Structures are given as structure tokens and as C-alpha cells.
Structure 1
Amino acid sequence: MTTTTMDTASAWDALDGVHLPRGYRVEITDGKITMTPQGENQWKVILKAAPQIEQQLANHGDILSDVMIDFPSSLYGYAPDLAIIAPGSERNSRGRFEWHSLEAVLEVVSKSTQDNDFSKKFRMYAECGIPVYVIIDPSTGTCTIYQHPTRTGTYRDEDEVPFGQDLVLPLEGRDIVVTTDGFPVADGSSR
């Protein structure tokens, strides 16, 4: 997959030269910079899912966690909990991947991020044509898979998978299967 360099400024340009504290997630939504501490449940899901995905990719793509992705607007800068990069994707002149390199995005919901995950990110990811968007929700013990994005900011297909069942990520020409048995269910005390 070849990429084109973005003509617009990246939302991340606002943070050039800024020292960001460790343990915080930084994202930009509607031009506003938001920092939130990473929650325990979020971290545990990432630790369990990422190695499974990486092993199955076997040099046919890559997986990133909390890494800046350039989107086609200077008002949005997301660093998905887990992002699956399509095989052959290249970094832009800023050294980052762009939205069109993403095959799938997985976000782990918490109380402080659910508005962004269920509405703003949902809309942006669909408008950008990201083929698969998964919301993992420890408070309900479910993973919701959205597929077939529309330019109007929605996905045509939705499927819910409860923790304990396999989460199947339908990527281009292959499926990635994530075992969710060990995903933590929120006790209400996390962020």
C-alpha cells in the first residue's frame, strides 16, 4: 500500500517539542488536547490482545498501541489503543502512519473516554474509511465490531461479542482471532 503525504497540518504539530508525562494518553478532539491516565482494565486488555494479534499478522501488517496517527484534519489526533497497520504501508514525512494505513482500530472504553469512543471516534473512523472498528467495553464485558464504513460517519454492520468468546477481526484477505477469556470486567472503580 502506498501513501500520500498530507497537505494539511497534523493535529499533532501542536505538541511538537512538548514533553508529555508517561502513563497518560494524549489525544486531540475538535482541536482540544485531552490527557487521561491509562486505566488498569485498558492496560490489561492491550497486554492480552496485542501479542495474539502480532503473532497472527506474521509480517503481514503491524500492530501499534497508543501511537500517534495522522488524520485528514488538524483538529483530530488519535493514538488508538490498538491499531493494525496494513501490509506495505509507509510512514509520511513526519514519520507517522496516516489514517488510510489502518486496517482496524480497537479502543478500550472507560468512563472518561466513552463519549469519544462511541461517538466522535466512531464518526471520524467511519468517515476516514477505516474498515474495522472495535470497541472493547470492560463495563459490559463485550466487544462491538463495526464494519463497512460510510462517508457519512457510520458503519453498515455491527456485531457484538461477549467476553469469553473469540473476537474475529475480518481484515483484508485474512481473519485475526483474539481470545477474550482473560479480558477484565470493570468493577466500577477504574477511570
Structure 2
Amino acid sequence: MTAVDERPITSSIATFFEDLEVPEGYKAELLRGDIVMMAGPDRVHNGIVESVQDQIPRKRWRRLQTQDIAIPGETSEPQPDLVVLARGAEDGPGRLIPAPAVTLLVEVVSKTSVDRDYGIKRSMYAAGGVPAYLIIDPMAALCLLLTEPARKGEAADYRTTRTTKFGETATLEMLGVELDTSDFETLPDIRRHYRP
């Protein structure tokens, strides 16, 4: 697979996003033509991402935070909480990693990202052909592993889902990892959500 140095700009929103100056302490994502800006993550969020990253063998896998992804056929440049790809799958320069080079994407749900993580990102990552998407929800104290992406565009979704409660082991076959969730902290379920 070759590196993506520059993605063709197909709309004015994509041009605007490329030039956007994001205030310190915030991050911005382009999600199906909408620019979404959010505050930096909290300690619980960062602790979960650190725990997941530490359990994925560095020798075989690249584990990248703050990495933008290019989704083919989408006006989207999300920045998942953790991007996992095989070493050598994408070694070139550039700001974007093409979604087809990725093995697993991880999002840790926050009170403001619930709908995006369970909704639009689920559809976008499936549309991009990402083989596995792991949603970690510290409010519901569970992990949802989605595999087998199908269809394109807004109709895209994953065929297979597996739920693991915090404290149990989540099997990540695609990485050969048994993910220990026993040290994942929780957050109060501030607003009731009905996902998954």
C-alpha cells in the first residue's frame, strides 16, 4: 500500500478543514462534511486508551493516537482515539492513513461523543472497510467489538457485534490479543443513552 500525501480536495468544506486552526486543547474532525470540534479527553478516557495501547504488542502493530484517517469515497477525516495497523502496512509520509491500511480503530465514548461513536463513526468506518471497530464505553462499562464491514456510504454497517463487560476479557482475534478490561475506569452515566 502506498502513502497518501495529499487527498484531492473535492469540496469547499474539505478545503476549509485542511486550513482550520484548532485552538490548543481541542481536536477537530471532518465527519461526512461536518466539522466537529471537541475538548480534549479526560483522565479516565486517557487511562483506557493507554491500557489498550499497552496490551497490543508494539513489535507487530503500530498503535497511533492523534492520527487522522482518510475514508475512501467520504468527505471525512476522523481522528480515532487509537489506530492500529500492521507494521509495514503504511510507512510513507503524510497526515492521513487510508482506512484500508488499518486493522482496528478504537473510540472511547464520552458524554458528548455517544451518538458519533455509536452512530456516524460506526457507519463511516464500515464504509471505509476497516475490519474491526472497538467502542469502549466507560458510562455503560462495556466494550463493543464490531467486525465484518458491509455496504457503502451511509448504509454501511458491521455484520458482527460482540459485547464484553468491563472486568471481562475482550478477545481481539484480528490482533491475537486477549484485552484485559479489569483496570478500565468508569464514568457516571450522566445522560441515559440507549446504545448499543
Which deviations, in whole Å up to 9, do the C-alpha atoms of 1:77-99 show, x marking residues without a partner? 10100110223222566343111
User: CA separation in 1, counterparts of 2:64 and 2:16?
Assistant: 22
Residue 87 of structure 2 aligns to a residue whose secondary structure is: coil
* TM-score using structure 1 length: 0.84
1:98 is matched with which residue?
Answer: 98
Q: Which amino acid in 2 is paired with 1:29?
A: L
Residues 61 and 88 of structure 1 are in contact (CA less than 8 Å); yes or no, is this contact kept in structure 2?
Answer: no
- In structure 2, the CA distance between the partners of 1:133 and 1:185, relative to structure 1 (3 Å rule), is same
Q: Which amino acid in 1 is paired with 2:173?
A: P
- In structure 2, the CA distance between the partners of 1:78 and 1:12, relative to structure 1 (3 Å rule), is farther
User: CA separation in 2, counterparts of 1:179 and 1:128?
Assistant: 28
2:122 is matched with which residue?
Answer: 122
1:109 is matched with which residue?
Answer: 109
User: CA separation in 2, counterparts of 1:155 and 1:75?
Assistant: 20
Q: Which amino acid in 2 is paired with 1:168?
A: T
Which deviations, in whole Å up to 9, do the C-alpha atoms of 1:66-125 show, x marking residues without a partner? 211122246211010011022322256634311111100010111211111111111111
User: CA separation in 2, counterparts of 1:177 and 1:142?
Assistant: 15
Q: Which amino acid in 1 is paired with 2:185?
A: P
- In structure 2, the CA distance between the partners of 1:176 and 1:22, relative to structure 1 (3 Å rule), is farther
1:186 is matched with which residue?
Answer: 187
1:169 is matched with which residue?
Answer: 172
1:68 is matched with which residue?
Answer: 68
Q: Is residue 2:13 matched to residue 1:14? A: no
Greater RCO structure (CA 8 Å; 6+ sep): 1
CA RMSD of aligned residues (A): 2.4
Which deviations, in whole Å up to 9, do the C-alpha atoms of 1:32-58 show, x marking residues without a partner? 2111113322222112221222xx241
Matches within 5 A, 1:127-138: 127-138=127-138
User: CA separation in 2, counterparts of 1:127 and 1:38?
Assistant: 27
Q: Which amino acid in 2 is paired with 1:123?
A: S
Residues 8 and 72 of structure 1 are in contact (CA less than 8 Å); yes or no, is this contact kept in structure 2?
Answer: no
- In structure 2, the CA distance between the partners of 1:176 and 1:9, relative to structure 1 (3 Å rule), is farther
1:148 is matched with which residue?
Answer: 148
- In structure 2, the CA distance between the partners of 1:74 and 1:146, relative to structure 1 (3 Å rule), is closer
1:49 is matched with which residue?
Answer: 52
- In structure 2, the CA distance between the partners of 1:39 and 1:188, relative to structure 1 (3 Å rule), is farther
Report the Cα offset of residue 13 of structure 1. Answer: 4.9
Structure 1 consecutive aligned stretches of length 4 or more whose deviation exceeds 4 Å? 4-7, 10-13
Which deviations, in whole Å up to 9, do the C-alpha atoms of 1:132-170 show, x marking residues without a partner? 111101111000001111124111111101111122212
Q: Which amino acid in 1 is paired with 2:49?
A: I
- In structure 2, the CA distance between the partners of 1:7 and 1:78, relative to structure 1 (3 Å rule), is closer
* TM-score using structure 2 length: 0.82
Number of matched residues?
A: 184
Q: Percent identity among equivalent residues?
A: 26
Residue 176 of structure 2 aligns to a residue whose secondary structure is: strand
Structure 2: any 5+ residue segments left out of the alignment? Answer: 192-196
Q: Which amino acid in 2 is paired with 1:24?
A: Y
